[in-house]
């Protein structure tokens, strides 16, 4: 009877569950981590989740980001898989292509600005298109894969526009409902496609200053960077779509139609951290859904790291992320950072540095500097003995340091990192520092010493409390909207008619032109009447 009762309970529980397909190409670690966290949360709430992972970059193969694949509710009662992974490997030609592809050139962003010109935007788009093309073609030619996915009868597919192949696949398979999920806080052409109001007057572009110090050239830069980012992503989208249509003959809608027809647009933004800006109900901010401060605090730090935190009263952690390596920065930058650390012997510096065999570099370091190839970042940020975090400003790191309540110096390197830095700075617990000034040891030391003052820690702690006590939990926002999309599939009620308007209509240019025409016509007519009346009232002079 007990087994029968439990069977009934589980059967009732699963009658409220939905089936999700999460498409997560192994191409960028932060994006893979974001999509994996979504899958984990859905599985934690009892839904059946399949994660489809296309293995693009071999270097990310060993990154374990799915928390608990193949979890079963019960071994004896219900052998029902809650979360499973489909690892989709490239064929022999694909493996050879990815093995011999040119190595990443992102290290150039240490000394150059991001894609801020048409040439740079097109170069980035061309490289990314080639990276994604082979795997996407293989996916679309694999009829067995299509049959397998169709048999699963998914309620919702969740895919990211960073690699549009997932959205194209969802459209081709005609899965009932689509959720577009962005690991970044915004991708301009995607938000524009759903009718999201322009954020140019609310959000600074890369390289622009935010707030009262923003001038006219900052607003000019906002427009220019919007155009360049749009050009870059749209080139990737259309390159891939044209290749699919030409080489497979499949019928797929363009990216604007797919995104506009989606149930929701999830984006990695939090309203209490991000810039305030106008938004649609269709655009759902889920930023912070994977932040778990309590578990970070419970995580035990490695013994050697634990001892380092006890060495001095102040400890500074330096990390520039996993894409652009500290070991690849110019020597002038490294020397500037080293001289800054030498000038502060009473502070411990823990630096995430990838090259363990760089003995010449190690010889230059003072006694208060310690290099680590890898660090448990969330747990380290949650430790009260940490005083300051110097970061590249990736959205994942910005979100973690904001939740942890630690002051930060953001040194943006490329893409959305300048905006992320300004976003964190406006809360009073962070400062943005130019990468081009890393060689200036005195200037860098002044900023570090300033950020170690108590007022910055107080502001950072306030932001942490704000995020942890926000009225609507991001996890709840994610789950409820995903379940709603699974139940109702399409949500045309959230589709604004404004996106049907052309450029002139959307920005009232047509009305302005009509108004100017009417005003000009009225002015000319009024002038004509005045001239006629004046000519009649003035007597003509008599001829002598």
Predicted pLDDT of residue 12:
43
- 26 beta partners: 55
pLDDT string in tens for the chain (544-residue length)? 544 444 444 444 444 689 999 999 988 888 888 999 999 999 999 899 999 999 887 767 666 666 655 444 433 334 455 788 888 988 888 888 877 776 555 677 788 776 667 877 888 788 888 888 989 999 999 999 999 999 999 999 999 998 999 999 999 999 999 999 998 888 888 888 888 887 787 888 887 888 788 888 888 888 888 888 888 889 999 999 999 999 998 889 999 999 999 999 999 999 999 999 888 999 999 999 999 898 999 899 999 999 999 999 999 999 998 778 888 889 999 999 999 999 999 999 999 998 877 888 888 899 999 999 888 999 999 999 999 999 999 898 999 999 999 999 999 988 788 889 999 999 999 999 999 999 999 999 999 999 999 999 999 999 999 999 999 999 999 999 999 999 999 999 999 888 888 878 888 888 999 999 999 998 888 888 888 777 665 565 655 4
CATH no. for 293-468: 3.40.50.2000
What is the residue-wise DSSP string for 378-438?
HHHHT-TT--EEEE---HHHHHHHHHHT--EEE---STTHHHHHHHHHTTTSEEE--GGGT
- 352 beta partners: 372
Predicted pLDDT of residue 513:
92
Q: List C-alpha distances in Å: 432 to 3, 208, 347.
A: 60, 12, 21
Predicted pLDDT of residue 408:
97
CATH no. for 18-290+474-497: 3.40.50.2000
How are beta strands 369-372 and 71-72 bridged, if at all?
Answer: unpaired
Predicted confidence (pLDDT) per residue in 395-425, tens digit: 989 999 999 999 999 999 887 888 899 999 9
Predicted pLDDT of residue 414:
81
End-to-end CA distance of the chain: 130
């Amino acid at each position: 009877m007990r087994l029968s009762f439990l069977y009934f309970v589980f059967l009732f529980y699963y009658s409220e569950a939905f089936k999700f397909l999460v498409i997560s190409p192994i191409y960028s670690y932060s994006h893979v981590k974001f999509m994996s966290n979504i899958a984990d949360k859905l599985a934690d709430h009892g839904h059946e989740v399949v994660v489809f992972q296309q293995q693009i970059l071999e270097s990310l193969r060993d990154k374990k980001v799915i928390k608990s694949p193949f979890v079963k509710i019960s071994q004896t009662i219900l052998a029902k898989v809650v979360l499973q992974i489909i690892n989709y490997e490239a064929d022999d030609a694909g493996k050879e292509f990815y093995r011999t592809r040119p190595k990443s050139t992102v290290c150039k962003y240490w000394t150059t600005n991001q894609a801020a010109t048409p040439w740079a935007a097109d170069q980035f788009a061309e490289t990314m298109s080639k990276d994604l093309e082979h795997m996407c073609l293989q996916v679309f030619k694999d009829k067995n894969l299509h049959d397998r996915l169709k048999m699963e009868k998914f309620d919702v597919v969740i895919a990211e526009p960073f690699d549009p192949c997932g959205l194209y696949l969802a459209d081709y398979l005609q899965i009932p409902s689509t959720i577009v999920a962005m690991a970044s806080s915004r991708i301009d052409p995607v938000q524009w496609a759903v009718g999201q109001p322009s954020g140019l007057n609310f959000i600074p572009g890369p390289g622009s200053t935010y707030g009262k110090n923003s001038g006219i050239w900052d607003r000019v830069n906002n427009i220019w960077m919007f155009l360049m980012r749009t050009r870059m992503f749209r080139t990737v989208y259309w390159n891939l779509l044209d290749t699919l249509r030409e080489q497979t003959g499949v019928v797929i809608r363009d990216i604007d139609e797919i995104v506009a027809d989606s149930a929701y647009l999830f984006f990695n933004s939090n309203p209490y951290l991000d810039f305030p800006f106008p938004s649609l109900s269709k655009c759902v901010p889920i930023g912070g859904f994977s932040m778990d401060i309590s578990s970070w605090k419970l995580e035990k730090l490695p013994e050697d790291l634990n001892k380092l935190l006890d060495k001095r009263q102040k400890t500074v952690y330096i990390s520039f992320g996993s894409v652009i390596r500290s070991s690849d920065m110019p020597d002038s930058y490294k020397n500037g950072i080293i001289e800054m650390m030498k000038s502060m012997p009473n502070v411990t510096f823990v630096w995430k540095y990838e090259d363990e065999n760089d003995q010449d570099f190690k010889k230059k370091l003072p006694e208060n500097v310690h290099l680590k190839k890898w660090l448990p970042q969330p747990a380290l940020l949650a430790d009260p003995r940490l005083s300051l975090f110097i970061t590249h400003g990736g959205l994942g790191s910005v979100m973690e340091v904001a939740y942890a309540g630690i002051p930060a110096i953001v040194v943006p390197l490329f893409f959305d990192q300048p905006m992320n830095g300004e976003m964190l700075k406006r809360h009073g617990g962070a400062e943005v520092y130019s990468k081009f000034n890393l060689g200036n040891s005195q200037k860098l030391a002044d900023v570090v010493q300033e950020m170690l003052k108590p007022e910055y820690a107080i502001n950072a702690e306030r932001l942490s409390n704000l995020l942890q006590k926000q009225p609507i939990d991001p996890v709840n926002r994610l789950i409820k909207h995903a379940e709603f999309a699974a139940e109702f599939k399409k949500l045309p009620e959230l589709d604004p008619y404004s996106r049907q308007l052309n450029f002139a209509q959307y920005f009232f240019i047509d009305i302005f032109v009509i108004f100017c025409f009417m005003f000009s016509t009225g002015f000319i007519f009024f002038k004509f009447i005045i001239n006629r009346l004046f000519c009649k009232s003035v007597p003509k002079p008599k001829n002598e």
